[in-house]
Amino acid sequence: MDNMYDKVMESTKYIQSKNNLKPKVGVVLGSGLGDLIDVIEEIEYISYEDIPNFPKSTVIGHQGRLVFGKINGVDILAMQGRFHYFEGYTMKEVAYPIFVMKQLGIEQLILTNACGGINTDFQPGTLMIINDFINLVSDNPLIGVNDERFGTRFPDMSEPYKLDLIDKAKNIANEMGIEYKEGVYAGFMGPYYETAAEIRMIKNHGADAVGMSTVPETIAANYLGIDVLGISCITNMATGIQKHKHSHERVVETAQKASVNLSKWVAKIIENMN
């Protein structure tokens, strides 16, 4: 993407011209995990299609928008709808909103997703704190000439999910009686659900869950100096572990059920962010 910095600044200025809010906390809502929207107060929307230079949606009827508002008194900026690599966007396009979030002042980012469980301690409906990722797409949003105004050429990735935030999420879950697991998220390109052999391979390499999102946004956020918390909802067991075939409808249905607890948890985490 040529002149990415100028493009990001133009997107940022447009958004700032629409409201005066200065949230420091961002949230990306995964498939079926939109319940959090219901607890946002003083809500204001900006459609992605109205924001200059934002990636254009390839899916008809796809509703993508930024949501500004307050959760338990804390200003937040949520993304309802994210961009995926499998839709044909470049990695830079997938991560573009995170670059804009940085310019808007976001310091902490909560990424959520629906994914498949590899660890057999999990079951559909399990909520998993992501403690690391494996990038299985031979691409990432930092490829190309580096612009030092965004970040350093060779960013550290030793703590992609901030340990302080993980501790906070665990303490809050324990107080609230919310069950959770913890593990490594492997990001595949998709859009096909993985083969059983692929799942066996990544299980042997330490993956606990598998999905088609989150990794590009995590990489970009770390590069930009934004702290990340990642929470996955296990919507199904991965190929070869579950006996039946995958169904997108079932994935969304399970995510929607788990979204109730996930939203309560995320709202409380946001309330306790500083």
d(CA 117, CA 126): 9
Interaction of residue 216 with ligand HPA, rule CB under 6 A:
no
To the question of whether residue 82 is assigned a binding role by annotation, the answer is yes
Taking the complex as a whole, the smallest distance from the CB of residue 218 to ligand HPA amounts, in Å, to: 16
Residues 6+ apart with CB under 8 A from 111: 28, 30, 130, 214, 217, 218, 221, 228, 229, 230, 231
Show the site string, 100-129: x = touches ligand HPA by CB under 6 A, - = not.
Answer: --------------xxx-------------
Interaction of residue 28 with ligand HPA, rule CB under 6 A:
no
To the question of whether residue 244 is assigned a binding role by annotation, the answer is no
Taking the complex as a whole, the smallest distance from the CB of residue 267 to ligand HPA amounts, in Å, to: 23
d(CA 238, CA 194): 8
Interaction of residue 210 with ligand HPA, rule CB under 6 A:
yes
Interaction of residue 193 with ligand HPA, rule CB under 6 A:
yes
The 3-state DSSP class for residue 199 equals helix
Considering the complex, state which of residue 23 and residue 211 has its C-beta at the smaller distance from ligand HPA.
211
Member of 119, 236, 261, 263 binding ligand HPA (CB under 6 A): 236
- Following DSSP, what letter does each residue of 72-85 receive, concatenated? TTEEEEEEES---G
Would you state the structure tokens that stand for residue 30, as one six-digit string?
């995964």
- Following DSSP, what letter does each residue of 32-44 receive, concatenated? T-GGGGGG-EEEE
To the question of whether residue 84 is assigned a binding role by annotation, the answer is yes
Beta-ladder partners of 231: 112, 129
In the annotated binding site for a purine D-ribonucleoside, the residues are 194, 236
Q: Which residues bind ligand HPA (CB under 6 A)?
A: 114-116, 193-194, 210-212, 235-236, 238, 251
